[in-house]
Amino acid sequence: MHLRLLLFFTFVLKFNAQAANFPDCKSGPLSTFPICDQSLPSHQRAADLISRMTTTEKITQMITTAEAIPRLGLPKFEWWSEALHGIAYAPGVSFGGDLPAATSFPMPINLGASFNMNLVYRMANIISTEARAFN
């Protein structure tokens, strides 16, 4: 459970806090927490934020649509943004014109069963290329 939350918050830290659906490190409740201190390593920042969450709050982060945690300044989050099935829920993505859809990849359990790290690397490379193309 902690690994998934750690990955989530590490992912969130990579995005611009100006986006409406991402935490605000400039003026929101998070601004006083280590999570917003970019001089600290990502894993340390994420671990601190997770330690501030109640058990119930951690559980609500484990479903497809993670609930907001207003007291910490965390907005509602769509887990579908991992991009295995396209980048449809990523911020700023709108399908249309020359880019009507994104690639859909197998579930993680199927990728793991392949024991092929090169395949996973190539898939991640395609996802990142599509994300840049759509945004």
User: DSSP string of 28-94?
Assistant: SGGGGSGGG-TTS-HHHHHHHHHHHS-HHHHHHTTSSEEPPBGGGTBPPEEGGGG-BTBSTTSTT--
Scored b (16 or more CB within 10 A) or e, 11-33 reads ebbeeebeeeebbbbeebebeeb
Across residues 69-93, what is the average pLDDT? 74
| pLDDT at 67 exceeding the cut of 50 | yes
Nearest to residue 6, comparing CAs of 64, 34, 61, 47?
47
Q: Percent of the chain having pLDDT more than 70?
A: 70
Q: Percent of the chain having pLDDT more than 90?
A: 22
Pair of tokens at residue 119: 């395949």
63 or 76, greater pLDDT: 76
**Report for 10-24, 45-59, 102-116: range of highest mean pLDDT:** 45-59
Reduce the DSSP state of residue 8 to 3 states and report it.
helix
Q: How confident is the model at residue 101 (pLDDT cuts 50, 70, 90)?
A: confident
Cβ–Cβ under 8 Å, residues 44 and 34: yes
Q: What is the C-alpha to C-alpha distance for residues 60 and 121, in angstroms, rounded to an integer?
A: 30
Q: What is the pLDDT of residue 16?
A: 38
